[in-house]
Amino acid sequence: MTAYRGTNYHGYQIQSNAITVQAVLEKCISKVLNHPVTITGCSRTDTGVHANQFCFNVHTESKISTRGFVRGVNGELPDDISILSCENVPAEFHARFDCKGKEYIYKIHCNESKNPFATDLMFHYRRKLNLDTMKKASSYFVGTHDFSSFCADCTNVSTTIRTIYSLDIENYGDTVIILVKGDGFLYNMIRIIVGTLLDISEGRISPDDIPEILSAHDRLRAGRTAMAHGLYLNRVFYNEKDLFL
């Protein structure tokens, strides 16, 4: 399991012309294991998106212990990526396909003044949010729906049907945190949901419009796409029962 601050990276997935989290991980792991590796990640995160938990698997014949792997790779990694834990798994384990669900959080700093300690870690929103209307709207997202209206590019998926198990909005002073847990998410789905909730707070969209927007299957019907730097992959689940704890 790893965590990373996505500010300096063009997303997770390796690219030929940009630095990514995967590229840095593979370089450091290859050095520690003393052979080239390709890691398999549980998800793809966009440029600027962070991860509190990100699972990947790697195949190796090395006899290194799990503790040695954590210590060795962390010794090579930059300060904005960290290996949190490591365990041995069956050879057929797949970090992406064996994942039963994920939880994302989106952090918003609601104040006229910016927070200099959270510039790239929270979305700065200069006024108070209407949390009552946002919470009313959030209930419509829970359940199994076709989320094509909340997908920036659906051309590479076999289905746009996803299940959201919970969508909670929590307020701590000037900080608002939106937590979304589901079986999987489409491209930019969380950021579009958050952007739509912001539009609802501003009165541009009514909370009761959400069912109609879902049934429209039209991205233009939903709200804006929220900024990437407020988004975190928070938890990944490999046991279904843990999804509902």
Distance separating alpha carbons of residues 29 and 33, to the nearest angstrom: 6
Is 46 annotated as catalytic? yes
Both tokens of 41, joined, read: 């990640």
Q: Which listed residue (46, 80, 153, 242) is catalytic?
A: 46
Report whether 183 contacts 165 (CB < 8 A): yes
Both tokens of 43, joined, read: 């998800």
Both tokens of 140, joined, read: 């419509």
Q: What positions carry a catalytic annotation?
A: 46
